[in-house]
Each structure stands twice: as structure tokens, then as C-alpha cells.
Structure 1
Amino acid sequence: MEGWLIDADYVTEAGRAVVRLWCRDEEGVFVVHDRNFTPYFYVIPYRDFDPMDVSVESRGKEIAPLKVEKARKKIFGRETEVYVVYAHHPQDVPKLREAFRDYGDVREADIPFAYRYLIDRDLACMDGVRVEGEVRQEKGLRVVDAETVERIRKKTFPSLKVLAFDCEMLTEFGMADAEKDPIIIIGVKMGDYEEIIHGEEREIIARFVKVIRELDPDIIVGYNQDGFDWPYLKKRAEKLSVKLSIGRDGSELTFRGGRPKITGRLNVDLYDLAMRLDVKVKKLENVAEFLGRKVEIADIEAKDIYRRWTSGDKESVFRYSRQDILNTYFIAEELLPMHYELSRMVRLPVDDITRIGRGKQVDWLLLSEAYRLNELAPNPREMDEGYEGAFVLEPVRGLHENVYCLDFASMYPSIMIAYNISPDTYVSGACDDCFVAPEVNHRFRKQPDGFFKRILQDLIRRRREVKATMSKTDRDSIDYRLLDIKQQTLKILTNSFYGYTGWSGARWYCRACAEATTAWGRHFIKKSAEIARSMGFEVLYGDTDSLFVKKDDGPADSGEVEELIKRISREIPITIEVDEIYRTIFFVEKKRYAGLTSDGRLVVKGLEVRRGDWCELAKETQRSVIEIILKETNPEKALKYVREVIGRIKSGDYPLEKYIIYKGLTRKPSRYESVQAHVKAAKRGMELGYHYPVGTKVGFVVVEGSGNIGDRAYPLELIESFDGELVELKTKLGNEKRRIDKEYYINNQIIPSVLRILERFGYNELTIKGNTQKTLDSFFG
């Protein structure tokens, strides 16, 4: 049989572990059972001993190796004789690992059994699989008792069935409490199928289970369902004696390591993926809007659900539920394909890929490569050692025209390849035939090619081939989109290698590799700046892998810039290209600038307009100031605009949403030592029954009154109405009205958000509030 490999796990039969591969073909799902794989790990012995004599007692039972073999493995490229210790069962491995640590260096004992199988059998999730063996039926599933299993490399992705769901609970105050607040709706969408499940709570949950079993999705997605919906459903189902039997083998939803696990189905929390997006307030609708897929069909907010539902207006709550489920589904459509490709490259199931960071993804990629090269993997390290990072050239502040940004493409991977930077090529002492890093003097053998160099070259070669194919493919075709996903994924993994070497949890952690890479990077930026100046360019700014230049004597033409790139390329082994041409750009300080590109796009880096803990009005004001300065080169007009905003605040012209400030809770409100405004706002909400779990973005406004800002911060949940002047607030003593603190928003939000920009053009806080004028001649650097 042939199909797509979706997931891998194992079950125990007669005391032995059996690998299960969950696969899909045109007929549906089938399960491969492979009984021909045994758990094992490696031991590099400290001294002579008989490994078969090693045992440990656990719960009155003696645990000993099943068998032990000798093998030749490479450790940083050098062959060494090691023991391969086989265990009776995967659960014996952690216990044996501890026992063997008295006799040797234990390696690769932390790799989960099913994923060890994928590496050793050269299989990958989201890729093809061919299996030979006897086919039988079990619990309504086609089961193949495998004799052989092999990988088939596919160019496309499997056509998977993705089901999105979202629960609505009925709670009078704040976050729902699973002990007392019922589920009133579960929204479901898969393809064209949509259902808003409602009615009596027990029937809702039972219907949800039935829908999953009938639709039989391969992937179930939600938004923060791992932290909220699934635990809530589990607790409510237990109270109502409903079994959440949604596994493909009929098993119930379980939790492993705090994460939900559904046998035979992938469970992907889209909130994990949203955490990697440049969206500061990661509400469901914000993420959908960022991805260009936002749906707006509801006329209520979450805080309105209780009032609408209990008053009999259930239709508005249904619309709200459908809006959430559509946004969830469309986010999945946008974000899942790249993770299918990552799953294929790293081998792991998609749900694991979405939960781990870039460092762990590189770790798993390296584990597969290490096995292929007969290289023994180091154990993960837990340490934190700092090192000097990238070189940042101080910017020439002010407004500039006709500026070129030169990009040192894939700088760090290119450096690692050019100078053979890898843990296995690092030499701590003297070396005759080595590359020596500037400043830090770390040495790396020139020959043979290091472990990292070989992998990086392969990743870059594969990306180059994909991009070459893309150039011959119709940009509007599905093939082009699949190729683009593949090249983006290859780029992500390639560019993660440098950071990986300096990540304290990396198996192949190597501080010298990280230090040497950044040292060469600093050297190249400085060298490039010298060359640019010698050719009559003014260097305005340099940071990590980019250089901003303009001609001293007028606009540069493309020929002059090409000649500069050629000169630099003769000196350093990095591909350089023009990243952007800016009609206008201004620099505020390191890593903070804004520019208008030659094709009319606004590029903003590091300024408050991109942060989430400023109110929307402050962000809008700053963005408008940036646009006026860059598009019209008129700071005076920008100043006038800010004064108009201040005037409109005083006149009460702005709605409440313009004043809301969002800030996240990184711990429980009770655990904060210094109580900040958002924490005090959360505590105020908690007094009236609202819940604010860790990770919540607390939305609050500041009203007039005595005390500090926190004493006057009220969460959105307590706001009943706003008329531009007065905020009606819920309190323990009943509703009361307080004035919005206009002076706070003017002095602590609007002016600070623009002052960092405007002060570069000679303005200060008094100027913004007053009538001092400047001439345009003083604005240009």
C-alpha cells in the first residue's frame, strides 16, 4: 500500500512496543503496525565493564538491557567504539539511562521511540510511504502488519481534512469557570461543512464528538484550544459523564506533558503559530486581519454574550460563534502549509513542529543528518553564556534622500560555509591549516568539510534549485505557491543555524562557532563601510547584515552602486544585493528608522508604532507623522498634525477604542512585585469575577482621579459606555462615571510617540505644545 504519513506513535502488545504509522491514501486512513523496531541508546564507556551486568530496580521489578552490541560511531568526525544498548520497552530507556551514567557517557537516550523510528527508517511526516504486509480490519480501520516500510518522496502535500472548532461558554463575569459555567455553543467548520452546535450542554458535547467521528478530520485546529477549550471540554465532559472518544481508534482525548493528544489526529493550536507573527495583540481577529482573511459578521463582542444569550437574542451569539470559527479556519488555511513543509524536512508530525521553536527544529534536522552520517549526537545542554553580537554602526540622524540599502544575503550561513565553522572543525589550540576568526581568534580546520557546512550547503543548494524552478512556473499556479512555501522553509532553517550554535539548549551548542560567526560579520560590515567611503559614498547606517549608503555629491546612479557591490564582493565571500532604494529615510537611533521606498512602500523599524503597549491613537498619530515627513518632507506639517490630534482629544472627538492600551501578563497578577497599570487593571477586574490567565493581553483605559496611573487604570471588561468625555464603569458599589484622563493621553501617549521622531528635526515637547517654527533647510542630514 502507498499513502501519506501523517503521524507516528506506539502501543504496547505483550510487553513489546509496536510502532504505529497513521497514513492516508485515496480511500481514507490506514494504520501501519511495525513490530520490527527495538528501542535503544548509546554509551561511550569510561572504562571496561560488562553492560549486560547493568540493571536497575523499579517498582519491585529488575530492568536490564535486552541486548548490547558494539558499534563504530563518529564523535565530531572521529570514529569511536561505543555500546548500543537495546531495551525491552521504551519506558525502560529513562531508567537504564540513569544506571549507565555511572559507566559512560549516555547519548541519544532522550529521543522518543516513535521519532527514533522515523529517523532510522528515513521516514518523514507529510511525505509518502510505501508498506508491504498483511492487511486486516480492526476497530473499523485498515491495519497493515508491516514487513517492510519505505519512504516515497512527494512533490506536493497530502489533501488533508482540517476541522476548526471554537467553544462559547456562558459566564456573567470575565473568563468562564469550568466548575460552574456551561458550554452553550461549539462552532465547527471543515471545508464546506459548518455547524453551530447548541442546545442542552450534554447534547452539545455528545454531538461534537459525533461530528468529529463522522467527518473524520486529519487535523483539528483551534485558537488557544490547548490552553483553554480542550481542558474546559474535558472537565465539562467528565461532569456530564460524556466520553470524549475522538481518537481514530476510539480512544479518549488525553493530556501528555500538559498538551492534548488525540490518537491518529493532529491537534494544532493556531495560537502557537500566531506567537511567531509580527502581531502585537494576538487576538483571533487581529491575526486573521494580519493575514488578510478577517471575517466580520457579528455585531457583538465576547463581553456581550451573557447579556444577549440570557435576554433571548441567541442569533447574535450564533453570528459571533460563526465569525470566530471562520476566522480560525481561514488562519489555518494560511499558516498550515508552511508547517507541512517543515514537518517533512524535520520529519516530526505537524502538531509537534508547531509547538517547538526554531532551535528545536534545527536540532531534529541535525539528528536526522547525524544518523545518516553515522555521527553520534551530543546531549542537549542547559547553560547561558553570552557573547558579543553583531556590529551596529551609529546612524547619521535626520532626513536623507536617495539612499540605497545593501543587503548581505544570508550573511551568517555564508560565513559558516566560507570558513568551515562547525563544532567538529573547531580547534582549541595551535593549527597550521586553519581559518582564524578576527578579534576572537577562534580556529577552524579548512579540511575536511564540517558537519554544519555540509548541511548548510545542501539547504542552500536545494533552495537555489527550488527558486530556479519557480522562475519557470506560472506565479498564479498552485505549483508556484507550493514551491514558494518550500523555499521559504529552507530559508528559515538555513538562517536559524547561526542562532542555534549559540542557543544554550542546543545539542551541538558551540560558543566558539557563534562568536567566530559574529566576529567575521562585524569585520565584513566595517570593511564594506571603508570601501564605500573610499568610493565617495556616505555611510549612513550599518546593522548586522545591511549597509545604508548615499552619494556625497548627489543621487547615486545604479552603475555606481553596482561598482560598489563588485568592489565589496572581491573582498568578502558574501553575496551582496540592493535590498531597497529609499526616496526618503530618517534614522532615529540604532535599529530605529523609517523610510519611503522608491515604489511607495512605508518601511518602519523599531519605532513605537509597531509596539502593542501604546494606545491606538498614539500609533496612528506616529504613523501619520512618519508618512508626512517621508512623503512630503514637511516636518512642520507633521507638527501641525500632532497639534490637531491634541486639540481633538481635548474636544472629546475620539471613540473609546482609540484610548485602549494593551499589555500582556507574563505571570499571575498576584506574582508581580512592582504592580504596573495593566496588572492593577486586571486585579480590579478580578474583584468583580473576571479571570486573567498568564498570557492575557489586558486592555485598559486611564481615567482622571488621584494616585498613580495604575490606580486609575480600568480594564475593558468593566467599561459600560463612553461618550467622548465620561467613562461609565462597573464597580463593587455599582456603576459610576469618570472622565477619561486627556492629559495622560496627551503627555504620556501622543507626545512621547512622536517626540523621538520630531526631536531629530529640532522640536521638543514645548515646541509641540507651542508655536515655535523651523525652516526646512535644517531637517536634512
Structure 2
Amino acid sequence: MEGWLIDADYVTENDRAVVRLWCKDDEGVFIVYDRNFTPYFYVIPYEDFDPMRVEVEARNRIITPQSAEVVEKKVFGKVISVYKIYAKHPQDVPKLREEFKKYGDVREADIPFAYRYLIDRDLACMDGIRVEGKVRLERGIRVVEAESVERVRKAGFPELKVLAFDCEMLSEFGMADPEKDPVIIIGVKMGDYEEIIHGEEREIISRFVKVIRELDPDIIVGYNQDGFDWPYLRKRAEKLSVRLAVGRDGSELTFRGGRPKMTGRLNVDLYDIAMRLDVKVKKLENVAEFLGRKVEIADIEAKDIYRKWVSGDKESVFRYSRQDILNTYFIAEELLPMHYELSKMIRVPVDDITRMGRGRQVDWLLLSEAYRLNELAPNPKEVEESYEGAFVLEPKRGLHENVYCLDFASMYPSIMIAYNISPDTYVAGKCEDCFVSPEVGHKFRKKPDGFFKRILLDLIGRRREVKQRMKEVDRESLEYRLLDIKQQTLKVLTNSFYGYTGWSGARWYCRQCAEATTAWGRHFIKKSAEIARSMGFEVLYGDTDSIFVRKDAPPEQLEREVEELIERITRELPVTIEVDEVYRSIFFVEKKRYAGLTSDGRVIVKGLEVRRGDWCELAKEVQREVIEIILRDKDPEKALRFVREVIANIKSGKYDLEKFVIYKGLTKKPSKYESMQAHVKAALKAREFGFVYPVGTKVGYVILEGSGNIGDRAYPLELIEGFDGEFVEIKTKHGTEKRRLDRDYYINNQVIPSVLRILERFGYNELSIKGNTQKTLDAFFG
């Protein structure tokens, strides 16, 4: 049989672990059992000993190895003899590992059994699989007792059935409590199928399980369902004696390491992926909007659900539920394909891929490559060491015109390849034929090619082939989209290598590699700036892997001279450099803070407050508009008039409350903070009414007039019932009361500071923004 490999786990039969592969072909799902694989790990012995005499007592039984053999492995390219220890069961490995540490350096004893199988058998999830063996039916699913299993490389991805769900609970105050607050709705969507399940709670949960069984999805997605929906459903199901039998084999939902697991289905929490997106507020609707897939059909917010439901207006709650489920489903459509490709490249299942950081993803890629090269993987170091980072050239503040931004394409991977930077090429002592890094003086052998260089060359070569293929196919075709996902994934992995070498949890951690890479990077930026100046360019700014240059010359001549500059830099340095952007106008405020208007009319903002989440929306909008006026109109007086108009509108109550909401994230429980910041105090106020913010979420609050400091006057959105432009109606223990919005705070601590950093370059200060002082554009230049 031939199909796609989706997931891998194992079951225990007669005290033996049996690898189980969940696969799919045109007829549907089939399961492969492989009984011909044994768990193992390696030991580099300190001295001679008999591994078969090692034993450990656990739960009234003695655990011993099943067998052992001497094999040859490489450690940083050097061949050594090691013991390969076979265990009777994967659960014996952790206990044997601790005992064997007395006799030697234990390696690769922390790789999960099923994933060890994927590496050794050269299989990959989301890729093809061919299996031979006897077939039988088990609960209506085809089961193959494998005699042989092999990988079949396929283009694209399998056609997977993705089901999105979202729950709504009935809570009078704050966060719903599974001990007492019922589930009132479970929204479900898969393809064209949609259902808003409601009614009596026991029937809701039972119907949800039945829908999953009938639709038989391959992947179930939600938004923060691992931290909220699934644990909540499990608790409610227990209370109502409902079996959450959502596994493909009829098994119930389980939790492993705090994560929900359902047999034969992938459980993907989209919130895990959203945490890596450049979205400051990670609410469902914000992420959907960021991805261009936001749906707005509801006319209520989460805090209105209880009031609408008990008043009989259930239709508005249904619309709210459908909005959430549509946003969840469309986010999945956008985010899952890249993770399918990552799964194929790294081998492990998609649900684990989505929970991994970039460092861990590189780790798994390297484990596969190490096995192929017979290289023994190191153990994670878990060290904390700092080193000097990238070079940043002080910007020439002010407004500049006709500026080229030159980007060093994949600078750090290029450096690692050019200078053979890898843990196995690093030389601590004397070296006859080595590359020596500037500043830090770390040495790396020129030959042979290091472990990292070989992998990076392979990744870059594969990406080059994919991009070439993209030029040959229709940009609107499915093939083009799949190729684009593949090249983006290859780029992500390639650019993660430098950071990986300095990541404390990396198996192949190497501080010297990270230090040398950044040292060469600093050298490249400085050298490129020297070359540019020698050719008559003014270097305005340089940061990490880009420099900004300008020259007084007609456009066509300037374009030619920039091409000559690029040609000379690439001739003298082992890098690829290209024009990233051409700015009609750009202003620099300070390091890593600038805004520019590109030649095609786009405004690009880097590092200024408009991109931060702890400023209110109005402050962001005002700053954005000021930036647009400065760049497009070059009229600071117009920008000043606009800010003064906004201040007047705040005083007259012309803005809705959402313009004043400030969001800031909780990095720990509110009770753990030593300094009671405004968002922490707001969270504590909400807690008095039963609403608990999970760690990692953002607290939305507004500042009201009254006594005390800012924190004392910060009120969370959950306690706000209404706003008339001047007074905010807040919930109290005695009912509701009206408090005036602190408009002076928003003028003096939000709007003015957000624009002052820009307008002060024109000679304005806070007093002049509030008054009538005027300056000219000349104050900005020079």
C-alpha cells in the first residue's frame, strides 16, 4: 500500500512496544504496525565495563538492558567505539539512562521512541510512505502488519480534513469556572460543514463527540484550546459522565505533558503559532486581521455573552460563536501549510512542530542529518552565556531623500558557509590552515566542510532550485503556492542556524560559533560602509545586515552607481547583497527607529511606538498620520495642526472607548509581580469579579480620573459597561458607577509622547505642541 504518513506513536502489546503509523490514501485512513524496532541509546564508556550487568530497581522489578553491542560512531567527525544499549521498552530508557551515567557519557537517550523510528527508517510525516504486509480490518480501519516500510518522496501535501472548533461558556462574572459554569455552545467548521451546537449541556458535548466521529477529521484546530477549551471540556464531561471518545480508535482524550492528545488525529493549537507572529495583541480577531482573513458578523463582545443569553437574545451569541469559528478556520488555512512543509523537512508530526521554537526545529533537523552521517548527537547543554551581537552604525538623524537600503541576503548563513563555522571545525589551540574571526579570534578549520556548512549548502541549494522552478510555473497555480511555501520554509530554517548555535538548549550549542559569526557580520558592515564612502556615498545608517546610503545624483546615474557599489562589495566580501528598498524620503530618529516612504508609495515604520502594544490605539493612529504627513507632504506645520486637532477632539469627547484601550501582557501571575504596574493592578481588579488572565495574555485597560497613581486608576475592559465620550460606566461590587475618562493622561502620556520624538526634530517641544509656536522644515535638516 502507498499513501501519506500523517502521525506516528506506539502501543504496548505483550510488554513490547509496537510502532504505529497513521497513514492516508485515496480510500481514507490506514494504520501500519511495525514490530521490528527496538528502543536504544548510546554510551561512551569512561572505562571498560559489562553493560549487561547494569540493572536498576523500579516498582518492585529489576530493569536490565535487552542487549548491547559495540558500534563505531563519529563524534565531531572522529570515529570512536561506543556501546549501543537496547531496552526492552521505551519506558525503561529513562531509568537505564540514569544508571548508565555512572559508567559513561549517555547519548541520544531523550529521543521519543516513535520519532527515533522515523529518523532511523528515513520516514517523514507529511510525505509519502510505501508498506508491504498483511492487511486486516480493525474497527472499520485498514491495518497493515508491516514486513517492509519505506519513504516515497511526494510533491505537495496530503488532502487533510481540518476541523475547527470553539466553545462558549456561561459565566456571570469573569473567566468561566469548569466547576460550575456550563458549556452553552460549541461551534464547529470543516470545509463547507458548519454547526453551532447548542441546547442541553450534556447533549452539546455528546453531539460534539459524535460530529468528530462522523466527520473523521485528520486535524482538529482551535485557538488556545490546549490551555482552555480541551481542559474545560474534559472537566465538564467528567461531571456529566460523557466520554470524550474523540480518538480515531474510539479512545478518550488524554493529556501528555499538559498537552491534549487524541489517537490518530493531530491536535493543533493555533495560538502556539500566533505567538511567533508579529502581532502585538494575540487575540483571535487581531491575528485574523493580521493575516487578512478577519470575519466580522457579531454585534457583541465576549463580556456581553451572559447578559444576552439570559435575556433570551441567543441569536447574537450564535453570531458571536460563528464569527470565532470562522476566524479560527481561516487562520488555520493560512498558517498550517508552512507547518506541513516543516513537518516534512523535520520528520515529526505537525502538532509537535507547531509547539516547537525555531531552535528545537533546527535540533530535529540536525538529529536526522547526524544519523545519516553516523554522527553521535551531543546532549543539550542548557547553558547561559552572553556574547556581543550585531554592529549598529549610529544613524544620521533627520529627513533624507532618495535613499537606498542595501540588504545582505542571508548574511549569517553566508558567513557560516564562507568560513566553515561549525562545532566540529572549531579549533581551540594552534591551527595551521584555519579561518580566524576578527575581534574575537576564534579559529575554524578550512577543510573538510563542517557539519553545519554541509547542511546549510544543502538547504540553500534546495531553495535555489525551488525558486528557479517558481519562475517556470503560473503564479496563480497551486503548484506555485506550494513551491512558495517550500522556499519560505527553507529560508526560515536556514536563517535559524546562527541563532541556534547560541541558543542555550541546543544540542550542538557553540558559543564560539555564535561569537565568530557576529564578529564577521560586524566586520562586513563596517567594511561595506568604508567602501561606500570611498565611492562618494553618504552612509546614513547600518544595522546587522543592511546599510542605508545616498548620493546627490540624477536618478538614472544614482541607480548605476548603486549597482557599481554592490558589485564592488560582493567582489571584496563573500556575501550576496541586493537593493532591499528605495526610499523617496526617510527619517531616522535613533538606532533601530526610522520611517520611510518607498519609491512605490508604501510607508515602512521600524521601531517606533506605532508598532508597540502598550500604547493606546489613538496614540498609534496619531503617530502614523504624523509620519505620513512628514514623509509625503514634508509639512511639519500641517502635522502639528493635526496633533492639536486630535487633542481638541479628546477634550470634546469625539472618540470611542476602543481608541483609549491600552494592552500589556502578563509575563507571570499578577501576585508574583514586585512592582504593581498599571496592567497588573487592572488584572487584580478583574480577578475580584472572577476573571482570571492566563499568563502570556494581554490585559486591556483604560485610565480613569480619581485619586492614587496610574495603576490605581487602571480599569480592565471586563469591568466596563458603557462609555458616552466622557464618562465610563464601570462595574463595582455594589452595582455600577460612572467615572470620567482621564483625558489629560491620554493627551500628556499617550498622544504627545508618541509624536514628540518625531516633531522634536523640527524644533518643537511639548509646550509648543500645546501652544502656537511654529517651525520650518529647515529645522529638521542639518
Given the two structures, how large is their TM-score scaled by the length of structure 1? 0.99
Q: How many residues align structurally?
A: 781
Aligned to 2:540: 540
Correspondence 1:205-354 to 2 at 5 A = 205-354=205-354
Aligned to 1:63: 63
Separation in structure 2 between the aligned mates of residue 774 and residue 299 of structure 1, nearest angstrom: 46
Separation in structure 1 between the aligned mates of residue 322 and residue 736 of structure 2, nearest angstrom: 32
Separation in structure 1 between the aligned mates of residue 560 and residue 111 of structure 2, nearest angstrom: 55
Separation in structure 2 between the aligned mates of residue 615 and residue 455 of structure 1, nearest angstrom: 45
State whether structure 2 residue 494 is matched by structure 1 residue 494. yes
CA contact (8 A) 1:538 1:552 kept: no
Aligned to 1:84: 84
Cα deviations by residue, 1:600-653 (Å, 9 ceiling, x for unpaired): 111111111011111000000000011111111112211111111111111111
Separation in structure 2 between the aligned mates of residue 767 and residue 780 of structure 1, nearest angstrom: 19
RMSD of equivalent CA atoms: 0.8
Aligned to 1:729: 730
Aligned to 1:437: 437
Cα deviations by residue, 1:510-562 (Å, 9 ceiling, x for unpaired): 00000000000000100000010011100000000000000156766210000
CA contact (8 A) 2:761 2:779 kept: no
State whether structure 2 residue 97 is matched by structure 1 residue 97. yes
Identity, % of aligned positions = 82
- The one-letter amino acid paired with 2:689 is L
State whether structure 2 residue 766 is matched by structure 1 residue 774. no
CA contact (8 A) 1:536 1:552 kept: no
Cα deviations by residue, 1:195-247 (Å, 9 ceiling, x for unpaired): 11011000000000000001000000000000000000000000000000010
CA contact (8 A) 1:421 1:450 kept: yes
State whether structure 2 residue 652 is matched by structure 1 residue 651. yes
- The one-letter amino acid paired with 1:124 is A
Correspondence 1:406-445 to 2 at 5 A = 406-445=406-445
The offset of 1:688, in angstroms, is 2.0
Separation in structure 2 between the aligned mates of residue 717 and residue 48 of structure 1, nearest angstrom: 67
- The one-letter amino acid paired with 1:199 is G
Separation in structure 1 between the aligned mates of residue 96 and residue 718 of structure 2, nearest angstrom: 53
Separation in structure 1 between the aligned mates of residue 268 and residue 472 of structure 2, nearest angstrom: 34
Separation in structure 2 between the aligned mates of residue 59 and residue 336 of structure 1, nearest angstrom: 43
- The one-letter amino acid paired with 2:674 is E
- The one-letter amino acid paired with 2:492 is I
Secondary structure of 2:447's partner?
coil
Separation in structure 2 between the aligned mates of residue 438 and residue 579 of structure 1, nearest angstrom: 27
Separation in structure 1 between the aligned mates of residue 714 and residue 236 of structure 2, nearest angstrom: 34
Separation in structure 1 between the aligned mates of residue 608 and residue 234 of structure 2, nearest angstrom: 43
Separation in structure 2 between the aligned mates of residue 120 and residue 651 of structure 1, nearest angstrom: 70
Separation in structure 1 between the aligned mates of residue 695 and residue 109 of structure 2, nearest angstrom: 33
Separation in structure 2 between the aligned mates of residue 295 and residue 413 of structure 1, nearest angstrom: 40
Secondary structure of 1:149's partner?
strand
Cα deviations by residue, 1:155-197 (Å, 9 ceiling, x for unpaired): 1100000000000000001110000000000000000000110
Separation in structure 1 between the aligned mates of residue 656 and residue 743 of structure 2, nearest angstrom: 13
Aligned to 2:628: 627
The offset of 1:689, in angstroms, is 2.3
CA contact (8 A) 1:407 1:545 kept: yes
Aligned to 1:742: 743
Separation in structure 1 between the aligned mates of residue 554 and residue 714 of structure 2, nearest angstrom: 52
State whether structure 2 residue 672 is matched by structure 1 residue 697. no
Aligned to 1:161: 161
Secondary structure of 1:730's partner?
strand
Uncovered stretches (5+) of structure 1, i.e. residues with no partner? none
Aligned to 2:179: 179
Secondary structure of 1:662's partner?
strand
Aligned to 1:465: 465
The offset of 1:755, in angstroms, is 1.0
Correspondence 1:683-722 to 2 at 5 A = 683-722=684-723
CA 1:191–1:553 in 2, change beyond 3 Å: closer, same or farther? closer
The offset of 1:664, in angstroms, is 1.3
- The one-letter amino acid paired with 2:718 is E
Secondary structure of 2:11's partner?
strand
Separation in structure 2 between the aligned mates of residue 519 and residue 44 of structure 1, nearest angstrom: 35
Separation in structure 2 between the aligned mates of residue 713 and residue 183 of structure 1, nearest angstrom: 31
- The one-letter amino acid paired with 1:479 is E
- The one-letter amino acid paired with 2:390 is A
The offset of 1:709, in angstroms, is 0.4
The offset of 1:387, in angstroms, is 0.3
Secondary structure of 1:280's partner?
coil
Aligned to 2:596: 595
The offset of 1:690, in angstroms, is 1.9
The offset of 1:488, in angstroms, is 0.1
Separation in structure 2 between the aligned mates of residue 218 and residue 303 of structure 1, nearest angstrom: 33
Aligned to 2:504: 504
Aligned to 1:146: 146
Aligned to 1:364: 364
State whether structure 2 residue 613 is matched by structure 1 residue 612. yes
The offset of 1:681, in angstroms, is 1.0
- The one-letter amino acid paired with 2:502 is G
Secondary structure of 2:732's partner?
coil
Cα deviations by residue, 1:730-765 (Å, 9 ceiling, x for unpaired): 111221111110100000000111111111222111
CA contact (8 A) 1:124 1:345 kept: yes
CA contact (8 A) 2:551 2:558 kept: no
CA contact (8 A) 1:6 1:349 kept: yes
Separation in structure 2 between the aligned mates of residue 99 and residue 634 of structure 1, nearest angstrom: 74
Aligned to 2:129: 129
Separation in structure 1 between the aligned mates of residue 548 and residue 762 of structure 2, nearest angstrom: 20
Separation in structure 1 between the aligned mates of residue 95 and residue 665 of structure 2, nearest angstrom: 40
Aligned to 1:581: 582
- The one-letter amino acid paired with 1:589 is E
CA contact (8 A) 1:223 1:271 kept: yes
Separation in structure 2 between the aligned mates of residue 439 and residue 730 of structure 1, nearest angstrom: 61
Q: Which moved more, 1:763-772 or 1:534-543?
A: 763-772
CA contact (8 A) 2:174 2:692 kept: yes
Separation in structure 2 between the aligned mates of residue 46 and residue 229 of structure 1, nearest angstrom: 50
Separation in structure 1 between the aligned mates of residue 159 and residue 220 of structure 2, nearest angstrom: 14
CA contact (8 A) 1:437 1:516 kept: yes
CA contact (8 A) 2:762 2:777 kept: no
The offset of 1:472, in angstroms, is 0.8
Aligned to 1:669: 670
CA contact (8 A) 2:636 2:776 kept: no
CA contact (8 A) 2:282 2:697 kept: no
Aligned to 1:565: 566
The offset of 1:487, in angstroms, is 0.1
Secondary structure of 2:658's partner?
helix
Secondary structure of 1:276's partner?
coil
- The one-letter amino acid paired with 1:182 is P
- The one-letter amino acid paired with 1:284 is L
- The one-letter amino acid paired with 2:566 is I
CA contact (8 A) 1:635 1:761 kept: yes
CA contact (8 A) 2:437 2:520 kept: yes
- The one-letter amino acid paired with 2:96 is L
CA contact (8 A) 2:700 2:716 kept: yes
- The one-letter amino acid paired with 1:568 is I
Q: Which moved more, 1:627-636 or 1:81-90?
A: 627-636
Separation in structure 1 between the aligned mates of residue 463 and residue 635 of structure 2, nearest angstrom: 44
Aligned to 1:42: 42
Separation in structure 2 between the aligned mates of residue 57 and residue 205 of structure 1, nearest angstrom: 44
The offset of 1:697, in angstroms, is 1.4
- The one-letter amino acid paired with 1:563 is E
State whether structure 2 residue 737 is matched by structure 1 residue 751. no
The offset of 1:780, in angstroms, is 2.5
CA contact (8 A) 2:657 2:725 kept: yes
CA contact (8 A) 1:666 1:694 kept: yes
Aligned to 1:199: 199
CA contact (8 A) 2:76 2:424 kept: yes
Cα deviations by residue, 1:272-304 (Å, 9 ceiling, x for unpaired): 111111111111111111111111111111111
